[in-house]
Amino acid sequence: MKIEVNHLTKTFGKETALKQLSLELSNQKIIGLLGQNGAGKTTLLRLLAGHFLPSSGEIKISDQPVFDNYTITKDICLIQESNNFYQKFKVGEILKLSAIFYPNWNADEANQLLEVFKLKKKQKVHALSKGMLSALGIIVGIASHAPLTIFDEPYIGLDASARSTFYDLLLASYQEDPRMIILSTHLIDEVSKLFEEVVILHKGELLLQEQADELAAKHQLVSGSKQAVDQAIAGKNVIYQSELLGKKSAIIFDDQVEVTPELTVSRASLQELFVYLTKEEATQIGYSN
């Protein structure tokens, strides 16, 4: 599976959702797509799935355009946060339709997943709770075995234990049949360990694309006495700093400090990196402290 996105722009009226975005994703791996609300994640994922045309630029999947092209869209399964299924269908009918649409559909797996999530084939979509609808989305996404499977915030209404079950199932199914899985989520702490590659969008542009391991190697969380830390980080690319009780911590990104015995160097979590790379400072809007 190979995705090539070149100078992709998508506008909705006066709003620009994606600005000249270029990105390449390849091979079978689990990719985390992160970004604030409004960063353009859902727009990108829907363009990848061929839901609509870009305003300019191009998308190619396996060297082919994706819009209105069943030879490619049959290999793509996008599960969105909501409105994945027609209200009037029954769960069993959704599964039958999916089996027709997706060539790699695994009916046995789908039936097992129904049991895991305690869904019945005769239940109607419009009668399902939010959590059950999410579960149905997850079942279709996993059982589709689509070479490109995309989950865009798939678990609205799912409790923590059902989400953990989803991660287990996703990993198990991925290990049996490695495929490209893109997972877009705000619950970064929960899923960061699942990612092999991380893509961060910010204001419609690509902020970062990195192997998860390399992202860990690309930053340092430096702590120690205020003086030692200040000396070490002077002139470095500091994305976060905070001090208390004469001690200071700072995160250096895309840069290295000289490690001295007075300093402790460790790693920040993906969630912390994401927050510090993208957030607006409260002080910028006029709060003094």
Partner 1 sequence: MTERLKEDQPIFIQIAELIETSIVEETYLAHDQVPSTNEFAKHYQINPATAAKGTNLLVDQGILYKKRGVGMFVTDQAKTIIMKKRQERFYDYFVLPLVEEARMIQLPKEQLFKWIEEELNDED
* Contacting residue, 53, 127, 156, 172, with partner 1 by CB under 8 A: 172
Q: Min. distance of Cβ 232 from partner 1 in angstroms? A: 18
The closest alpha carbon to 16, from 59, 54, 63, belongs to: 54
Q: Which is nearer to partner 1, 91 or 169 (CB)?
A: 169
Applying CB under 8 A, which part among 82-90, 148-156, 171-179, 199-207 lies near partner 1?
A: 171-179
* Contacting residue, 160, 193, 279, 282, with partner 1 by CB under 8 A: 193
Residue type, 281: E
241-280 positions binding partner 1, by CB under 8 A: 266-269
* Contacting residue, 171, 238, 275, 277, with partner 1 by CB under 8 A: 171
DSSP E strands in 120-177: the ranges are 148-152
| Those residues with Cβ within 8 angstroms of residue 161's Cβ, 6 or more apart along the chain or in another chain | none
Alpha carbon distance 79, 90 (integer Å) = 18
138 contacts partner 1 (rule: CB under 8 A): no
* Contacting residue, 66, 212, 239, 252, with partner 1 by CB under 8 A: 212
DSSP reduced 3-state for 208: strand
* Site pattern 10..39 for partner 1 (x: CB under 8 A): -------------------xx---------
Task: Say how many C-beta atoms besides its own lie within 10 A of residue 231's C-beta.
Answer: 15
- Count residues contacting partner 1 (CB under 8 A)? 22
Q: Min. distance of Cβ 171 from partner 1 in angstroms? A: 6
Phi and psi at residue 42, to the nearest 5°: -65, -40
- Euclidean distance between the first and final Cα of the chain, in Å? 49
Q: Which is nearer to partner 1, 95 or 268 (CB)?
A: 268
Applying CB under 8 A, which part among 54-62, 98-106, 151-159, 216-224 lies near partner 1?
A: 216-224
DSSP reduced 3-state for 49: coil
Which residue in this structure is represented by tokens 């700093």?
A: 241
- H/E run at residue 246: none
Measured N-to-C along each axis, helices 91-101 and 107-116 cross at an angle, to the nearest 10 degrees, of 150
Q: Which is nearer to partner 1, 171 or 238 (CB)?
A: 171
* Contacting residue, 99, 216, 275, 277, with partner 1 by CB under 8 A: 216
- Spell 65-80 as b/e; 16+ CB within 10 A means b: ebeeeeebbebbbbbb
Q: Which is nearer to partner 1, 30 or 229 (CB)?
A: 30
Alpha carbon distance 156, 221 (integer Å) = 33
Alpha carbon distance 17, 12 (integer Å) = 7
116 contacts partner 1 (rule: CB under 8 A): no
Applying CB under 8 A, which part among 47-55, 59-67, 163-171, 199-207 lies near partner 1?
A: 163-171
* Contacting residue, 4, 81, 93, 196, with partner 1 by CB under 8 A: 196
Q: Which two tokens stand for residue 48?
A: 């990848």
Q: What residue ranges bind partner 1 (CB under 8 A)?
A: 29-30, 164, 167-168, 171-172, 174-175, 193-196, 212-213, 216-217, 221, 266-269
